[in-house]
Amino acid sequence: MSPRQSEARAADPAAAARRGRGARTPATQRPPKIGFVSLGCPKALVDSERILTHLRAEGYEIAPTYEAADVVVVNTCGFIDAAVDESLEAIGEALEQNGRVIVTGCLGAKPQRILERHPRVLKVTGPHAYEDVLSAVHEHLPPRHDPFLDLVPPQGVRLTPRHYAYLKIAEGCNNRCSFCIIPAMRGRLVSRRIDDVLREAERLASAGVKELLVISQDTSAYGADLRYARGEWRGVSYQTRFLELARALSELPVWVRLHYVYPYPHVDAVIPLMAEGRLLPYLDIPFQHASPAVLRRMRRPAHAEDTLARIRAWRHICPGLTLRSTFIVGFPGETEDEFAELLAWLDEAELDRVGCFRYSPVEGAAANALPDHVPPPLQEERYARFMERAAAISARRLAARVGQRVRVIVDEVSDEVATARSAAEAPQIDGIVRIVRDADKGSAGSRTGEKNARWLSAGEKNSARSHAKDTNAASLNAGEKNSGGLRAGQKNSAWLSAGEGNSAWLRAGQWADVEIVGADAYDLTGRLVEAV
């Protein structure tokens, strides 16, 4: 909407009154339309999908723009101050552009913070309070349900491209990391029963999903709250437990990727499944630091484990294992020796993908009370040193992949270039495998570090993108990655069209075999060998 239109709308007292209070009945008998803004981590994205699925089932349509929406729901993130600011800005934008806004999500746990700045919001509901959001929508925009017209696909409404999906197995967390307020916002661990999770996974796979990303706050703790209750799936009884879930998911003909896994001893048991090719050989483990003293101050789960020994053992069993992690530098009290310990650990661990965050205080976190906060310039210096070291390791490990033939899944396709990922790259947070059409013609960068003119610009753009992503993540906080503020119906529709677009040589969601012909610090370039 242009500023002019905004003024016109603000000057219309009837419209302002409609926006400001009570239910708005759509002027025609068209279905009521919801605009949706989803911010925060993949777990919040799954919450958004769940809310949208309910709303679609009730006959609401999803509006692609603020203009087209009768009411806008903003699913917020409140993890750290930067995320709070982004959420407050998004609410402000929705109010300005549409005027009728319902707020939910993590920041909803602090309604006063929202209402102080935006008193005009219609309603504030808290994290994973699905019923409350739905009631608020019903109150301000009643549904017009027509069971013959309102069809929801069996896999529900998803905000990811159709070939991958997040599978949320639990909510909340029983840990008490001193820098984190998620347990206060989202409560203690509540696992979904294994049969429920497996049925959802099966539905997704039947709907064409080819990659499942298993998420929760602490995936390795899955089922502890249910005392590992049993559930039946496909005639077999399984315990609600990390390893059994991994085993059962490996029965499906999809890629299964594990996120937010902590290095508890029982995690060792999934590595053979990865070595056998039943799960993707990929572990996302938020180590956060390597100095035992810092980890103790962080109150990290598994802080006493010898993680280097564990990583060595894992790689021995599964040499192709990709390890990704996030770290915090400049945590209160971090000494130069403790930071040096982290760098030495990093050299030994040789992780494939690493994100880094400068410590930043979060309102309500226990770490705020710790002594000896590290001054920002020193945090900055350590961050730069850490990233330089991590980038060199990553570049080395990526260069070692040149010449390998790997299976990839294609995310987006244009006439000349396709963006894909192998088992070693998770969507949104890792690098990519760029496939150049007809890479054989000309000198398509067949040696490490060499980029031919055709993909140099794409390479630069993508490196910049990866770097920007790290920088963005760095302003947030450890363990939680921001999905970049997905606006449902905007970025999502771009994904959908990418998925639907078919440039004949490849299509989104397709598997392909490629030969890796080039690498930089973040991304790989591949030559298409065969579309599968």
Strands 71-76 and 170-171: unpaired
Of the two residues 194 and 365, which places its CB atom closer to ligand SF4 in the complex? 365
Sequence-ordered alpha helix ranges (H) in 98-155: 111-117, 130-140
Q: Cβ of residue 266: shortest distance to ligand SF4, in angstroms?
A: 16
Binding site for ligand SF4 (CB under 6 A): 173, 175-177, 180, 182-183, 217-218, 301, 479
Q: Backbone phi, then psi, for 364, in 5-degree steps?
A: 95, -5
Of the two residues 366 and 391, which places its CB atom closer to ligand SF4 in the complex? 366
Q: Cβ of residue 224: shortest distance to ligand SF4, in angstroms?
A: 13
Q: Cβ of residue 362: shortest distance to ligand SF4, in angstroms?
A: 10
Q: Cβ of residue 88: shortest distance to ligand SF4, in angstroms?
A: 22
Of the two residues 65 and 175, which places its CB atom closer to ligand SF4 in the complex? 175
Q: Cβ of residue 455: shortest distance to ligand SF4, in angstroms?
A: 38
Of the two residues 173 and 420, which places its CB atom closer to ligand SF4 in the complex? 173
Of the two residues 339 and 357, which places its CB atom closer to ligand SF4 in the complex? 357
What's the rounded Cα separation, in Å, for the pair 170 and 196? 11
Residues near 112 by Cβ (< 8 Å), separated by ≥ 6? Answer: none
Of the two residues 44 and 182, which places its CB atom closer to ligand SF4 in the complex? 182
Q: DSSP for 347-400, please give it.
A: HHH--SEEEEEE----TT-GGGGSS-PPPHHHHHHHHHHHHHHHHHHHHHHHHT
Q: Backbone phi, then psi, for 14, in 5-degree steps?
A: -65, -45
Q: Cβ of residue 371: shortest distance to ligand SF4, in angstroms?
A: 21
Q: Cβ of residue 175: shortest distance to ligand SF4, in angstroms?
A: 4
Q: Cβ of residue 346: shortest distance to ligand SF4, in angstroms?
A: 20
Of the two residues 217 and 462, which places its CB atom closer to ligand SF4 in the complex? 217
Q: Are 506 and 486 in contact (CB under 8 A)?
A: no
Of the two residues 46 and 399, which places its CB atom closer to ligand SF4 in the complex? 46
What's the rounded Cα separation, in Å, for the pair 271 and 245? 14
Q: Cβ of residue 181: shortest distance to ligand SF4, in angstroms?
A: 8
- Output the CA angle 174-179-183, nearest 5 degrees: 30
Residues near 330 by Cβ (< 8 Å), separated by ≥ 6? Answer: 358, 359, 374, 376, 378, 379, 382, 383
Of the two residues 177 and 204, which places its CB atom closer to ligand SF4 in the complex? 177
**In Å, how far are 22, 50, 59, 143, 418 from 56, measured between CA atoms?**
22, 10, 5, 10, 32
What's the rounded Cα separation, in Å, for the pair 77 and 81? 10
Q: Are 66 and 72 in contact (CB under 8 A)?
A: yes
